[in-house]
Chain A
Amino acid sequence: MLHDLFEILSFQSGYNTNVVLLGSGLLGTAGGVVGVFSLLRKRALISDAISHATLPGITLGFLVALALTGTGKSLPFLMIGSTLSGILGVLLVQWIKDNTRLPEDSAIGTVLSSFFGLGVVLMSYIQNLKSGSQAGLESYLLGSTASMLQSEAEMIAFSALAITILAILFMKEFGLVCFDPEYAASRGWAVSKIDLLMMALLLAVVVIGLKTVGLILIIALVIIPPVAARFWTDRLGLMVSISAFTGGLSCYLGAALSALTPDLPSGATIVLTATSIFTLSLLFAPKRGIVAVALRQLSFRLKITRRRALLSLDKGPASLTLLPSLLLRREGVINSSGELTSQGKKVVSLMAHDQALWNQYLSDYPEEAFAQNKWSLVMITDVLSFDLIKELENSISGQNLSAGQNLVSGPLKDIS
């Protein structure tokens, strides 16, 4: 099994499989690149309407091809049909959104269910034809790389490559239109034309991906990689690269896995491979990943616990709960019997002084202090300028002469 997989992955199992793998990989790359822009343009679910809307086009294309050439399974006809009905679906969503009181999500739901319903009806009609060549149309629902012809795979590979190149060439324009359409318009760019090109590329990815991933799950190809990439970076260029890589890798691996298990629809393996990569991103991405977020919250909590414990020790011997006493003992601030060490005394008084400065800052510059999100979380010397701290110290000693007292005695200001 593993050996077979390695053989497939390293392009050693026949020209046909290689072309299918390459085509799938390029398709995933194209989906990843185009998906970034549709995600940023908040159009993720329009692709769901597009993909379901292609089904009546596929079946009508099949019927036309059957009437003209005698066999229905002609990829060009099916692609033209699916493109046309996909376009019709998008236009209908737009029309419902613009001309009725229904919101966009209802429009998407209406279009996808009714087009798909029509497609299913037409499929049941085709199944009852006595032509005998109808088998295989179901593979467009969940994808089937096993039944893919070499010419089909080559066509998919070339189209995917063309889509990827086009999308990368227009990356600057797409990016600006996604982030700030008004600014793009004010610079004289034809925003609606750029939008149209984005939509056309999205439609193209959906149409060429139907055979590999299937129309139910093709939307995953333009959603999962960009959302996974979103976890790793905030920069557009990097996001496009990561998304392209994720999409390409998951289609390549998924297609290879489904080559091993021919009865499994390739769409499911491809999507689940993408989901696995996504899950890794969700867990381990450096800034937004679950692990990173949890660690950040933990260290934040520990920092506050430590500061509170030190401040309470400053007021005299205090009975600490388990966590802070463990923390401070490890640091050497208190000894095993809970008494302050000589080094601990220094730390405690330093912390008390720091807190006094923060409090003074709060009373002298309340607005700045509230805007300062590190208030009482780090040492004040790390944040404020030397001159300002000097001023705060002077103002504390002035207050001490007049026996002033601080009201705030710990990190009460909660930042979240």
Chain B
Amino acid sequence: MDLPLADFLQIDFPALLVACLAGLCCGLPGNFLVLRKQSLIGDAMSHVVLPGIVVGYLLSGTLDTIPMLLGALGAALISALLIELIRRLGNVEPGAAMGVVFTSMFALGVLILEQTGASGVHLDVEHALYGNLESTLWFGLNNWSDILSTDAFEQMPGSIRRLGLVTLAVFFVIVIFFKELKLSTFDPAMATSLGFNAKYISIGLIIVTATSAVAAFDAVGSILVIAMFICPAATARMWTDRLSSQLLLSAVFALLSGSLGYLVAAFGPFLLGADYALNAAGMIAVIACVLQGISMVFAPNHGTFGRFLKQRKAMQLPTSV
């Protein structure tokens, strides 16, 4: 197979970049969601942002980031309030309250999308579910050296710029508030007693989650957003007990599944002789899960196979002494 460099740089490189950035910006906050047993907030967010994005698009008439982001944040906020209200008044578990709200919001998003003719312009339901990673194109790249040129920077696709900014912001928020996040995740009561309100940190985390979900949603679709919130963090959790190394590892796993998934989807079929590509977002989710599966079994301390070996060793010890 012969792939011209310019094609790779214009078609595959931007898609790879988007996949990796989306993985990073969802994977990093995902660590805290997994540790706080709030993974499904990521699931809920990825559904809830749809009506917000659609309304933001309809009101502003443009596909700019800011109105869509505001719409999505508004939708996320309304949902959080509704979930709390239903949970308290209805005396039901938080999961059920969440289920009521996010299905309703998603259905509302679908309805508005189909009824207003917004679909087909840029947004449609399939796009919302599995994104359009493949259609991210970066014209003006013919050589590796072009990446640094101002010309290429101006032609950089909006989704890369958007995701890059959000990823940077998420990264800095986590670095700056690392201590607070850590303490409020593992011991919220102590965090509050030390003077920083664990509740505000929770709300802050939800805002970060919503922002990441919106930024990634447009590029990679809701399904990959969920996968990236949960899988890299859950995978990293199998390998380490330290939060800082978990964050680092989850970033590595996110990058690995993003790039590997895209490459397999884009080039796998060609290698087998077919002339089409598979869906990249889906493949990335699958690769992320395969990495997690391998880790759940073979990780040294927390994998089932590692534990099994340890147990056997422990059982053999008395006889050998």
Contact = CB atoms under 8 A, between A and B. Distances in A.
B37 to A, nearest CB: 5
B111 A39 contact: no
Given A45-B99, A275-B107, A231 B37 contact: no
A269 B278 CA distance: 31
16 contacts: A44-B99, A99-B296, A106-B37, A106-B39, A109-B40, A110-B234, A116-B223, A141-B126, A219-B103, A220-B103, A220-B107, A227-B97, A230-B90, A271-B107, A272-B107, A293-B89
Interface centre among B231, B281, B282, B303, by most chain A C-beta atoms within 10 angstroms, is B282
Interface string B74-92: 0000000000011001111
**B contacts with A: majority SS:** helix
A128 interface: yes
Interface stretch (A6-14, A166-174, A259-267, A340-348): A259-267
A20 interface: no
Given A39-B92, A117-B227, A223-B100, A125 B278 contact: yes
Interface residues on B, range: 35 or more
B255 interface: no
Chain A contact residues, majority secondary structure:
helix
A117 B125 contact: no
Interface in A205-222: 216-217, 219-220
Contacts of A288: 89-91
Contact of A105 (B37, B96, B223, B224): B37
A117 B37 contact: no
Contacts of A366: none
Interface in A115-146: 116-121, 123-125, 128, 138, 141-142
Contact of B43 (A109, A230, A289): A109
B224 A216 contact: no
Given A106-B234, A264-B115, A272-B104, A227 B224 contact: no
Contact of B283 (A121, A216, A217, A226): A121
A114 to B, nearest CB: 3
Contacts of A267: 107, 110
Given A120-B130, A223-B103, A268-B108, 10 more contacts: A100-B303, A101-B302, A106-B234, A109-B229, A110-B234, A113-B289, A117-B227, A128-B276, A265-B125, A272-B111
Nearest to B87: A227
B98 interface: yes
Contacts of A227: 86, 90, 92, 96-97, 99-100
